[in-house]
Homo-oligomer: A and B are copies of this chain.
Amino acid sequence: MDDNLPVEAEAATGGRRGRADRGGGAAARRAARGGSGPGTQLTYIKRKIPVYEVLDEEGLALIEKNADTVLEEIGIEFRDDAEALKLWKDAGADVKGERVHFPKGLPRSLLKTAPSTYTQHARNPERSVEIGGKGTVFAPVYGPPFVRDLEGNRRYATIEDFRNFVKLAYMAPSIHHSGGTVCEPVDVPVNKRHLDMVYSHIRYSDKPFMGSVTAPERAEDTVEMCKILFGDEFVQNNTVLTSLINANSPMVFDETMLGALKVYARNNQACIVTPFILAGAMSPVTVTGTLTQVLAEVLAGAALTQLIRPGAPVLFGTFASSISMQSGAPTFGTPEPSLVSYGAAQLARRLGLPFRTGGSLCASKVPDAQAAYESANTLNSTILAGTNFVLHSAGWLEGGLASCYEKFMMDVDQLGMQQKFAEGVDLSENGQAMDAIREVGPGSHYLGCTHTQANFQTAFYRSSIADNNSYEQWLAEGQKTAPQRANELARRWLEAYEAPHLDAGIDEALNAFITKKKESMPDAFT
* Chain A residues packing against B (C-beta within 8 Å): 2-5, 49-50, 52-55, 58-59, 62, 66, 69-70, 73-77, 99, 154, 248, 250-252, 279-289, 292-293, 322-331, 333-336, 338-339, 343, 363-377, 380-381, 384, 398-399, 401-402, 410, 414, 417-418, 420-421, 423-427, 430-434, 436-438, 440-447, 451-452, 455-457, 459-463, 465-471, 474, 479, 481-483
Take A52-B52, A369-B367, A376-B377 as given contacts and tell me if A327 and B468 are in contact as well, using a CB distance cutoff of 8 Å. yes
In whole angstroms, how far apart are the Cα atoms of A371 and B465 in the complex? 11
Task: List 18 A-B residue pairs with CB atoms under 8 Å apart, sorted by A's residue number.
Answer: A5-B326, A74-B438, A74-B442, A250-B441, A280-B456, A282-B446, A283-B446, A286-B433, A288-B433, A324-B468, A334-B417, A334-B461, A335-B418, A365-B467, A367-B369, A368-B481, A373-B373, A376-B376
A474: min CB distance to chain B, Å: 5
User: Which residues on the B side are within 8 Å of A52 (C-beta)?
Assistant: 50, 52, 384
Known A-B contacts A285-B455, A372-B373, A445-B250; the reply to A460 vs B322 at CB < 8 A is yes
Alpha-carbon distance between A459 and B369 when the two chains are bound, in angstroms: 25
A233–B64 CA distance with the chains assembled, in angstroms: 56
Q: Identify 19 new A-B residue pairs, CB closer than 8 A, beyond the known A75-B442, A284-B451.
A: A50-B54, A54-B425, A62-B432, A74-B441, A287-B431, A288-B427, A289-B434, A292-B434, A324-B468, A330-B468, A335-B461, A336-B460, A363-B468, A364-B466, A365-B471, A368-B369, A368-B483, A370-B410, A373-B414
Listed residue (A284, A327, A456) with the most chain B CB atoms within 10 angstroms of its CB: A284
Q: Which residues of B contact A366 (CB under 8 A)?
A: 479, 481
Query: Which B residue sits closest to A423, measured CB to CB?
Result: B335
Which residues of chain B come closer than 8 Å to A421, judged between CB atoms? 335, 338-339
Cα of A468 to Cα of B338 in the assembled complex, Å: 17
Decide if B331 touches A466 in the complex (CB within 8 Å).
yes
Please determine whether B373 and A375 come into contact, CB atoms closer than 8 angstroms. yes
Q: Which residues of B contact A371 (CB under 8 A)?
A: 369, 372
Chain B neighbourhood of A463, CB < 8 A: 331, 334
Q: How far is the CB of A74 from chain B (nearest CB, A)?
A: 6
Complex Cα distance, B451 from A286, in Å, reads 10
Residues from chain B with a CB closer than 8 A to the CB of A441 are 74, 250-251
Bound CA span A467–B461, Å:
32
Q: Smallest Cβ distance from A428 to chain B, in angstroms?
A: 8
Which 4 residue pairs across A and B have the least CB separation, nearest first? A289-B433, A372-B372, A376-B376, A284-B433
A507 to B367, CA, bound (A): 47
Q: Using Cβ atoms and an 8 Å threshold, which residues of chain B touch A401?
A: 471
B-chain residues with CB within 8 Å of residue A460 when the two chains form the complex: 279-280, 285, 322-325, 331, 334, 336
Interface pair B74/A437, CB less than 8 Å apart? yes
Residues of B within 8 Å of A423, CB to CB, are: 335
A446 touches B280 (CB 8 A): yes
Q: Please, which residue of chain B has its CB at the minimum distance from the CB of A76?
A: B442
Q: Chain B residues with Cβ under 8 A from A465's Cβ?
A: 370
Chain B residues closer than 8 Å to A364, beta-carbon distance: 466-467, 482
Residue of B nearest to A293 (CB): B437
**Complex partner residue of A2 from B326, B384, B461, B469, CB under 8 angstroms:** B326
Q: CA of A271 to CA of B336 in the docked complex: distance in angstroms?
A: 35
Judging by beta carbons under 8 Å apart, are A442 and B251 in contact?
Answer: yes
With A55-B425, A443-B252 as contacts: A431 and B288 at CB distance below 8 Å: yes
Q: A479 CA to B148 CA in the complex, in Å?
A: 14
Query: B398–A469 contact, CB under 8 A?
Result: no
> What residues of B have a CB within 8 angstroms of the CB of A62 in the complex?
427, 432
Which chain B residue shows the least CB distance to A6? B326
Residues of B within 8 A of A327 (CB): 2, 4, 468-469
Take A372-B376, A467-B363 as given contacts and tell me if A288 and B459 are in contact as well, using a CB distance cutoff of 8 Å: no
| Separation of A282 and B449 alpha carbons in the complex (Å) | 11
Complex: chain B residue closest to A283, CB-CB = B446
Docked pose: A287 CA to B431 CA in angstroms: 7
Say whether B443 contacts A59, CB under 8 Å: no
Contact residue among B331, B369, B424 (Cβ-Cβ distance under 8 Å from A468): B331
- Cα A363 to Cα B467 in complex, Å, equals 7
Tell me which of B75, B442, B455, B466 contacts A363 (CB under 8 A): B466
Q: Which residue of B lies closest to A436 (CB)?
A: B284
Q: Which residues does chain B contribute within 8 Å of A414, judged by CB atoms?
A: 373, 377
Report the Cα distance A223→B58, complex, angstroms: 49
Is A471 in contact with B154, judged by CB distance below 8 angstroms?
Answer: yes
A442, B252: Cβ atoms closer than 8 Å: yes
Q: Looking at the assembled complex, report how far the CB atom of A490 sits from the nearest CB atom of chain B, in whole angstroms.
A: 14
* A110 CB, nearest partner CB in chain B, Å: 20
On chain B, the residues within 8 Å of A325 by CB distance are 2, 456-457, 459-460, 462
**Residue in B284, B285, B469 whose beta carbon sits within 8 Å of that of A329 in the complex:** B469
